[in-house]
């Protein structure tokens, strides 16, 4: 469709979720449910998106404005049905050109292809087109009343006759009309039905009565799955993950145990990336070709360059940036830090708010002390520097290129290029004192 306005209905509270959070903000693949709907609409070329929210849904507005900056918001203060909700966006469709699509905001598996299927019917000459599907169990869904490739009406389950309830083709989640027809008909929708609500689905019968042609397209059941409770949310997540796993493998990514790897909606893995079992990718991850992600690692908001290795049991937090050939090993946490080309942070280490130079080596047990309880400060480690095990680098501090830090040091002052920094107390040995301590402690234990 060359031009179309998408009106997303997202005013429901989702009481069956049993949550203080609006239903459409629950996430699938790290993205709010309604975000998937917006993503599908924009992917199909929607040039305008309007969201109808409920009262007090400021969190929905904030989240979606961050995702689609030019989105328009409207509010349905009374819940009087889907047509009533769509009519709240009247300022948006008042001067709309092309097409107007109504889409339900609780369908996280919706794809751009589903909008495209509707668009094909409109391009073929239909004045309106509705997306349908054939569920395994049609109970509760509106039934399609058809005549060949024409859709005559949609009968809601509670208003359908027994004969109509035997129909297996049901309403899914997208209703699209030529903009001028939508403007003409939306005000004619009545509420003479079992629910006493204004149904958007009644637009189909109104369009036919006015002499317009209504077509339909059929989507796979998984694509148009709605989410109303936590069980359905988990089911949608499982379908989403299986789709992403297959996409990754077909694109050249090795997943040793696909079912144990979890992706976000925006995870980017290049061909020849290898992922071991039990890895979780949070939002904002990009991994370049040839990198290896070892088992039980958690990665979020990170960039991993070609040939870098992560894990096992590593955590990369937002802002982690690994250059080519860098190594982050087991029980290492990286946060808002760059790890230079060929640098090694092999084990038992925390690196936060830091810059680690190329080919530097960070010994086991090293930490950057980046937070004083109020502010964050940076640590800089130069190229080829060697940080001995069990060292604490108290930021702000800089370790020069080729410098050494002695094991067990607390470094609070800069260490110059090629210098050795030692920040520890001198060792004192007392001959025979071990025996004295043993006897003392043994006597104390017997006394107690």
Nearest Cα to 5, choosing from 38, 53, 54? 38
Choosing from 36, 57, 84, 347, the catalytic residue is: 347
The tokens 């038992």 sit on which residue?
348
Beta strands (DSSP E) in 179-304 are: 214-218, 254-255, 268-269, 274-275, 280-281, 286-287, 292-293, 298-299, 303-304
- In three-state secondary structure terms, 121 is helix
Whole-angstrom CA distances from 333 to 280, 324, 364 are 14, 18, 12
Beta strands (DSSP E) in 243-326 are: 254-255, 268-269, 274-275, 280-281, 286-287, 292-293, 298-299, 303-304, 309-310, 315-316, 321-322
For 358, the token pair is: 């190329």
For 428, the token pair is: 């004192």
Handedness of CA 236, 239, 242, 247 (dihedral sign): negative
Active site residue 294: no
The tokens 């003409």 sit on which residue?
184
User: 379 with 353: CB under 8 angstroms?
Assistant: yes
DSSP state of 159: G
User: 308 with 326: CB under 8 angstroms?
Assistant: yes
The catalytic residues are 347
């Amino acid at each position: 469709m060359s031009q179309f306005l998408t009106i997303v209905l997202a005013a429901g509270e989702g009481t069956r979720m049993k949550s203080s959070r609006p239903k459409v903000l629950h996430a699938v693949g790290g993205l709010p449910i309604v975000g998937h709907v917006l993503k599908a609409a924009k992917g199909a070329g929607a040039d305008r998106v309007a969201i109808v929210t409920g009262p007090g849904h400021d969190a929905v507005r904030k989240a979606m404005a961050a995702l689609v900056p030019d989105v328009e918001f409207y509010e349905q203060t009374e819940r009087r049905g889907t047509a009533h909700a769509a009519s709240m966006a009247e300022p948006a469709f008042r001067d709309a050109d092309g097409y107007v699509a109504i889409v339900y905001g609780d369908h996280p598996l919706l794809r751009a292809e589903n909008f495209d299927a509707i668009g094909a019917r409109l391009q073929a000459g239909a004045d309106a087109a509705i997306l349908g599907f054939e569920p395994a169990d049609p109970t509760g869904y509106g039934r399609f009343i058809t005549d060949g490739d024409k859709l005559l009406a949609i009968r809601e389950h509670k208003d359908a006759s027994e004969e109509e309830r035997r129909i297996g083709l049901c309403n899914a989640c997208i209703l699209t009309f030529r903009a001028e027809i939508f403007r003409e008909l939306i005000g004619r929708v009545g509420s003479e039905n079992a629910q006493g609500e204004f149904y958007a689905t009644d637009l189909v019968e109104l369009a036919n009565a006015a002499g317009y042609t209504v077509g339909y397209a059929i989507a796979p059941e998984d694509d148009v799955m709605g989410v109303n409770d936590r069980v359905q949310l988990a089911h949608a997540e499982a379908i989403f993950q299986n789709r992403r796993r297959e996409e990754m493998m077909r694109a050249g990514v090795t997943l040793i145990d696909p079912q144990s790897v979890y992706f976000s909606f925006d995870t980017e893995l290049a061909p020849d990336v290898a992922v071991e079992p039990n890895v979780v990718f949070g939002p904002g991850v990009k991994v370049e070709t040839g990198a290896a992600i070892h088992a039980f690692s958690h990665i979020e908001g990170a960039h991993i360059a070609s040939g870098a290795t992560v894990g096992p049991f590593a955590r990369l937090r937002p802002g982690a940036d690994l250059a080519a050939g860098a190594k982050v090993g087991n029980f290492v946490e990286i946060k808002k830090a760059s790890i230079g080309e060929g640098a090694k942070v092999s084990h038992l280490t925390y690196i936060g708010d830091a810059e680690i130079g190329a080919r530097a080596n960070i010994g086991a047990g090293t930490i950057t002390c980046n937070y004083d309880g109020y502010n964050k400060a940076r640590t800089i480690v130069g190229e080829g520097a060697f940080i001995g095990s069990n060292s604490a680098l108290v930021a702000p501090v800089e370790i020069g290129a080729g410098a050494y830090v002695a094991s067990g040091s607390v470094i609070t002052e800069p260490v110059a290029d090629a210098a050795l920094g030692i920040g520890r107390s001198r060792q004192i040995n007392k001959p025979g004192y071990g025996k004295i301590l043993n006897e003392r402690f043994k006597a104390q234990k017997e006394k107690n």
